[in-house]
Structure formats: C-alpha cells, structure tokens
Chains A and B, each alone.
Chain A
Amino acid sequence: MKKRIGLHGSEFWAAMSFLLPNLTGFLVFTAGPVLFSLVVSFTNWTLTKEEPFRFIGLANFAKLAGDKEFWQFFMNTGYLMIGMPVAVAGSLCLALLLSQKLRGVVVYRTMFYLPSFTNGVALLILWKALYNPDFGPINAILGPLFDLFGADPPAWLLSTKNLIGLHVEDIRLVWDQWGLGARDAIIFMGIWIGIGGSNMLLYLAGISNIPQELFEAAQIDGAGPWATFRHVTWPQLAPTTFFILVMSFIGGLQGGFEQARVLTAGGPAGTTTTLAYYIYTKAFEEFQIGYASAVSWVLFLIIAVVTLLNWKFGSRETTDA
C-alpha cells in the first residue's frame, strides 16, 4: 500500500494539468451525458415541442413495458445473437488451426481478419448485393439447389421468415414463417465478418499462453489430439472463452444498428429492428428524446448487470494484460 499524499503533494497539480484535457472531454461528452440522459428519461421532452416540457416520473418506463414494439425488437435483438456461439466456436477452430507451426500462418491470419478490419458500410452494401434475389451470387448458386426440391429460393433481406419460425409480431412459432429471411441473412453475414476477427486473435494469444509442459505431460500420458484438447486446451482457455462470450453478449445487446440502417431500414415488418435501431428511430427520426432516453437506459441497465456479473465471476487474467 502506498503512503497517503496530501493535496499539497507536489504531484497533485502536475497530475491535474496532465489530466485536464481528457477529464474535461470525459465530463462533457461521457459522464455528463450519462447523467443528463437519466434525467431526460423521466421527462416528456421532444424536439418537435408538441406539448410543454415536464417531468413525468416513470411514465416512459411504464409505456415501454406495455409497448408491443419494444418487446418485439427486444426479441429481434436476442434472435440476432443466435449466431454468436457458432462464431465463437469458429474463432476457436481457426485459432487452433493457426496455432500449429505451419508455413504462411501470418498470411492466413491476415485473410481471416480481412472482413473484420474492413467492416463497415462498404461491406454491408456488398452483402446487400450478394443477398439480392435478382442479381446476387448467393441465390445464383442456391437457386438451382432449391429448384431441385421444388422450393422457392430465400428472399433473404426481403423476407420475414426465419430459421425457428417465429411469428412476425407475437412471440410464438408458426409454420409459414419457417425458412430463411432477413434476420438469418444478418446472422450469416455476422459470422463471416466476426469469425476471424479479434476473438480469433484473443484465442491465439490464449493458446500461446498455455504452458508447454501441459501439452508434453498429455503426450506422455498418451493423450490423442481430441483428449489433449478436451483436458488441456479447452479448460486452459476457459477464461478467454468466458471473456469473449461476455463481450459478444454485450456487443450483441447494443448491436444491429448499422445492419438495420444500411441493409433493411429495420424491416421487413420490423423484423430486423434491434433495440439500438429502435432508439435511433425514436430519437433521430421521431425526436422523442425522453422516451428514447428511457429505452437506452433500460439497455444500459441490462448491460451493466451483465458487466457486473462478469467482474464478480470472471477471471481477471484476460482483462489485466
């Protein structure tokens, strides 16, 4: 434990001068807005000024709880996270492949990482073309396959169908919604983008941190590759996996904005509207600042709970470099 140093300690004012620019920005653009947003979520503030500004207590939150749209979009956000375990498992497989002493590992790694560092509007627009039912190459390949079974090829971003047959508005399963639609298209694209991204790099770092003796011991015990993975690699990577899952979950909760804005405008029939996109439309298209702030705080609270659970139960190994 360090000695306590009073305000007159020579380093206090020096520290303040170094901290000043960042702290000012931090207070004005982060800390201040967080508090401001909380206050606003208890008001009826709109930029269109239809009714006089006033505090309305918890009315926004009550409205939200009974808002059918909110729950539909909450469900959409959850549905879009279905691909997450697949992407994480894929990242692990890639990392395992790349962790071998092979020629050209850096080249492979760069290629796998390509979608992730070029990710953005340009790639989304590319996928919009790839998924296009009229001229896109995906249906050019899949079309004949579907013809073989006498089925229509998926309409991808134009379709409300989905892999578990969710009804468009209600939370129930129906047969005629079963198929491949906009949400699945976004999931597949997300796996393509994310599989070779930072999760793969984190796994690579995790694998290289496993003590070599453990592998040697496994070899002496006559363990095959699968047994080595099952009893050495996987348990040793548990903190990394936990960290990646928590981070992906948090990312997934606030995700889906760019996809909805660029690919689908949240449609068809609102099926690709996530909470982030809902907040955007409420705030920046309908100018209901108070209500949008309330929704964003609900999202924040969910994320805060997940993060606190992570701090409580997660290993510090991967976060303290």
Chain B
Amino acid sequence: MQETPTTTSGRSFGEWWFRKGRFGLSHLSLCLLALTTLTPFLWMVLASFKAVDEIDGNLNPFPKIWHPENYGQVFEQIRFARYYFNSIFIAAWVTVLQTLTSAMAAFAFARLRWPGRDQVFKLYLATLMVPGVVTMIPNYTLMVKLGLLDSYVGLIVPASFSAFGTFLLRQFMMGIPRALDEAAAIDGASHWRTFWEVILPLARPGLVTLAIFTFMGNYGSFFWPLVLIKSDALRTLPIGMLYFDSVYGKQTNLIMAASVMNITPLIILFVSTQKFLVKGIQLGAVKG
C-alpha cells in the first residue's frame, strides 16, 4: 500500500516522490484506516446521546437534541455504580495478589538455586497451553463444594495465581545482574530483604506491566463471573451489561451510554501507561 513505484526517469522528481510523496500516501492510508477503526466508537458515543427513536436505521450521525441525561438514566435503571465498584474492587484485589505471588515465585525461579527448579518451571510453562474451559469446570465444582459460589472470595482467589505472570516476571528478573544479589548477601541481607530491597525495585517495569495487564484482563473478565455470580449485588460490569442488554435491550441509547462508561477507564489506563504496555506485550509474547 505504502510502496510506490520507483521512477527511473526524472531522478530529482523520483527522489522527491520517494521522500515526500510516499510519506503523504502513508499518512493518507493511515488516516483512512484509523477512521475505519474509530467509526464504530464514534457511532457508539453519538448514539449514547440520542433519543431512542432516533436510532432508526437512517444515517443521521448527530442527535437532533443532545440527551446527556441518558447517562444518568443508566444508573437509575440498573445498579451500574455497584457493577462499577465490583469490577474495580475485584480487579484491584486480583492485581495486588497476582503481582505479589507471581513476583515471589519469579524470584524463586530466577534468583535462587534449588534442585528441580527447571522441571517445576517447565511444568508451569506447560500449563500455559491448557485452555480455560478445562480448568473452569473443576474450579466451578470446587467453588460449589466450598460454598464460595456468589462470593467475592470465589471471584478473587482463583484468579490470583498466574503461571503467565510468573513467567513474565522471571524474564524481567533474569535480566538483573547477579552481582547485586551477591553484594547484598555479602552485606548480610536475607533473601527476603534482597527480594524487597534489591530485586523488586529493579523489576519495577515488569511489575507495572503485569499489574496493568492483570487489571485490564480482570476488569473485563467474563467467563468466571458469568458462572459464579447469581445475585445482582455481585454483578461486575460485563455481567451487568449482559443483563442490561437482555432485559432492556430495546433502549439502545442507554445501552450505548453504559458501554461508553464501561470502556472509558480502560482508555484512560491504556493511554497513560502505554509505554509500559507496548514493551510488555512485545516481551511477554508467549501469551500472544
């Protein structure tokens, strides 16, 4: 698309074209592609401000009268604030627990020497290919047995351990020079102190990356809350949205308002942390 034929005659024009014209063409195609990506979002935002009978299959992009009160309506019809809180509360707990347990395990795999280490690590890696549906059924029956259906604990604890997180942080910790641990050991620091005061600060980019991934993933988590949650008070945003759509499905304007509010925190989080995320995705390529 961005490639342009090199002209053999008229060298100076050819050079000009190659340097400037190619960039112009690239910008044009990038703009068109960006527009294709953004149009559905624009439609969503505009529809969220319309009266419901204005979403009628005619191409009228802008609302005749803007209805910002649609957003307030969402909170009146469903317990949207509660769903918001649940999603953020659960995602935050999972993020803290998962980052901590992954960092500790990664420290054991990357910085300590013990028999069987590489075998155990391979076992961790092997489970990365297990499809979620395989473990989901036994985990569900376990929650039934433990009486943890429809509880915060049931939503948080099983999601708080991650082989992927351990793998990602191990990769980060492997890159920290060994001399630092040895210096700490000579100074008489315990492993625990080395972990907290030497390794964790240096692994910060990795920790932040994992934390953001985990938060984003659990904020939008669908399968596990879907099978576990029974009561309205525990619904997370995805489950609440699903319920809203199935019960009040005709109110497309309100549903779009809810969707906009659903994805806004993700956009803020992504834009403010994308430096970490892009690196992290490229580094932790194992999960694809």
Contact = CB atoms under 8 A, between A and B. Distances in A.
B43 interface: yes
A97 B1 contact: yes
B278 interface: yes
Contact of B37 (A111, A198, A251): A111
Interface centre among A2, A9, A31, A109 (most CB of B within 10 A): A31
B112 A15 contact: yes
B129 interface: yes
Given A15-B114, A34-B135, A321 B40 contact: no
Nearest to A22: B105
Contacts of B129: 250, 303-304, 307
A248 B287 CA distance: 10
Contacts of A59: none
Given A296-B137, A300-B134, A18 B115 contact: no
The interface centre, meaning the residue of A100, A120, A134, A279 with most chain B CB atoms within 10 A of its CB, is A120
A256 B167 CA distance: 26
Contacts of A21: 100-101, 104-105, 161
Interface stretch (B27-35, B65-73, B74-82): B27-35
B216 interface: yes
Contacts of B220: 119-121
Given A33-B138, A135-B55, A140-B57, A25 B161 contact: yes
Contacts of A149: none
Interface string A35-66: 01100100000010000000000000000000
A226 interface: yes
A66 to B, nearest CB: 22
A110 B4 CA distance: 26
Given A25-B161, A100-B23, A37 B134 contact: yes
B98 to A, nearest CB: 9
A57 B221 CA distance: 35
A22 B161 contact: yes
B4 to A, nearest CB: 7
Contacts of A318: 285
Main secondary structure of the interface of B (DSSP, over half): helix
Contacts of B142: 28, 33
A319 B286 contact: yes
A239 to B, nearest CB: 10
Contacts of A79: none
B187 interface: no
B151 interface: no
A14 interface: yes
A202 B282 CA distance: 5
B163 to A, nearest CB: 7
A146 interface: no
A226 B222 contact: no
Interface string B257-288: 01100110011001100100110011111101
A73 to B, nearest CB: 13
A34 B127 contact: yes
Interface in B227-262: 227, 237-238, 241-242, 245, 252, 255-256, 258-259, 262
Contacts of B267: 114, 117-118
A111 to B, nearest CB: 4
11 contacts: A11-B191, A29-B135, A30-B130, A31-B127, A33-B138, A117-B277, A250-B129, A250-B288, A257-B133, A261-B222, A296-B137
Closest 4 CB pairs of A and B: A25-B161, A247-B288, A33-B138, A22-B105
Given A26-B127, A119-B220, 10 more contacts: A12-B114, A12-B115, A16-B114, A37-B135, A37-B138, A115-B37, A201-B278, A202-B281, A225-B3, A283-B137
